[in-house]
Structure 1
Amino acid sequence: MDVSSYVLLSHEQALRRQLDVTANNMANTGTVGFKREQPLFHEFIETVREAPIDDAKQISFVLDFGAVHDAAQGAFQATGNPLDVMIDGPGYLNVEAPGGGVAYTRAGFIKLLESGELATSGGQRLLDAQGRAITVPAEQASSLTIAEDGTVMGADGPLGQLAVSGFSSETAVDPRGDGLMNGTNGRFLAAAEVKLKAGGVEASNVQPIVETTKMVEILRAYQTSVGMSDSMNTMRQRAIERLGKVA
């Protein structure tokens, strides 16, 4: 396999990665709190000793560098449940991760467990800034509300405050499944920085038309790459046939 084939192969692998990410975005169009992803690629340049011209001595390959989230705000989706919240702005709700530790989520479906603790729809307990679960006395469950700054209010006053963490870059946040994220180097947002909207959740920020258009573009680029590969194979075959005749 010559250098041109390796270059085309790296390009096709990058296109496949783009297609996988785009298809995942499409599949999560209706997922609450989902942020569309876009892949990141790194250019790797290799220098060869011999080439027909000097400009051809540097060969550029495409390497998968990861993916980054689009932090654009999703639309408010009313649910009629006064406990459901949408984070209006940056940040993630802190929840107890399965197996221990802290995970993060933008999916604001909130329910009350039998134990009286606030949790996500998946059953992960919501945490405050001290990493503790927020427990609601049974007699106050019917009058429960969540204020704009995340304060959980009962009939007799505050019961706790939902912790919201922010990150300097979306590259510090990685999906772990079930609407949860792993995050590094986050910080608790002060009450003045937090703005929650109760009575609804944040819809996915995926735009189906945009993703469909991108998918078509990727498929066309892949077809072009395959066509170039077929053309080079034909050129090689003809060259071998001519060399055979000369010999």
Structure 2
Amino acid sequence: MDISSYVLLSQEQALRRRMDIVANNLANTSTVGFRREQPMFREYVERADEAIVDDAKPTSFVLDFRAIHDMSPGAFQPTGNPLDVMIDGPGYLAVALPDGAGTAYTRAGFVNVLQTGELASAGGQPLLDETGQPIIVPPEQANRLSIAGDGSVMGPDGPLGRLAVTVFADESGLAPRGDGLYVGAQGRVLAAEETKLRSGGVEGSNVQPIVETTAMVEILRSYQSSVRMAESLNEMRKRALDRLGRIG
């Protein structure tokens, strides 16, 4: 296999990666709190020591670097539940992972009260306050809760705690777990005056199906062009070998 085939293979691998990400975005069009991903690629240039012409010495390949999240917010979706919240701005709700596995983060603001009295996400993970501890709700107050704009969980007798909203200087370091949660490090919990929550609903996915479908068509066309180019190169090699055979 010559260098041109490796270059085309590099491009086709990048196109497959793009297609996987677009397909995942489309699959999460209705996922609450989901933020679409975008692939990032880097150019890797390999320089040969010898070539017929100097311009042929450098060869450019595509390297899959990572995927980043589109930080634009999704639309507010009313649910009628006064405990459901949408983060109006940057940040993530902090939840405790089972078996002491650490802390994870989510934009999905479905909130409910567990039988243990802990305030939890839709997945049953306890929501954490600004000190990293679960928020405990007395049984007699479970049906009389509200959440203020600064994240304070209010009962009839006063505040029970404040939901932690964590921001990250570099959100590209957040890794999705596949269950609507992200894991990451070096987050900062917003102060009450920096936090802005909207109760009574959740944040919808920021995926735009038309945009993703258009991207899927473009990827398919690029792949078809790459295949046609590979076929043309193979045909050129066959003709060259045929002519060399005749000369021999």
TM-score tier after normalising by the smaller chain length: over 0.9
Identity of aligned residues (%): 66
When the two chains are superposed, the root-mean-square deviation of aligned CA atoms in Å is: 0.7
Is 2:152 aligned against 1:139?
A: no
Deviation larger for 122-131 or 48-57: 48-57
Corresponding residue of 1:56? 56
**Residue 52 of structure 1: how far off its partner (Å):** 2.4
Is 2:172 aligned against 1:195?
A: no
Q: Structure 2 stretches of 5 or more lacking a match? A: none
Matched residue SS, 1:143:
coil
Is 2:9 aligned against 1:4?
A: no
CA distances 1:198-221 after superposition (whole Å, capped 9, x unpaired): 000000000000000000000000
TM-score normalised by structure 2 residue count: 0.98
Matched residue SS, 1:177:
coil
TM-score normalised by structure 1 residue count: 0.99
Matched residue SS, 2:177:
strand
Count of aligned pairs between the two proteins: 247
Corresponding residue of 1:22? 22
What does 1:25-104 align with in structure 2 at a 5 Å threshold?
A: 25-99=25-99, 100-104=101-105
Query: Residue type of the partner of 1:167?
Result: F
Which consecutive aligned stretches of 4+ in structure 1 deviate over 6 angstroms post-superposition?
Answer: none
CA distances 1:149-203 after superposition (whole Å, capped 9, x unpaired): 0000000000000011001122121101211001121111111111000000000
Query: Residue type of the partner of 1:159?
Result: L
Matched residue SS, 1:50:
coil
Using the alignment, how far apart are the partners of 1:115 and 1:4 within structure 2?
63
Using the alignment, how far apart are the partners of 2:97 and 2:42 within structure 1?
32
Matched residue SS, 1:225:
helix
CA contact 1:172–1:185 (8 Å) conserved in 2: no
Query: Residue type of the partner of 1:223?
Result: Q
**Residue 141 of structure 1: how far off its partner (Å):** 1.3
CA distances 1:55-85 after superposition (whole Å, capped 9, x unpaired): 2211010011010000001000000000000
Using the alignment, how far apart are the partners of 1:11 and 1:89 within structure 2?
37
Matched residue SS, 2:230:
helix
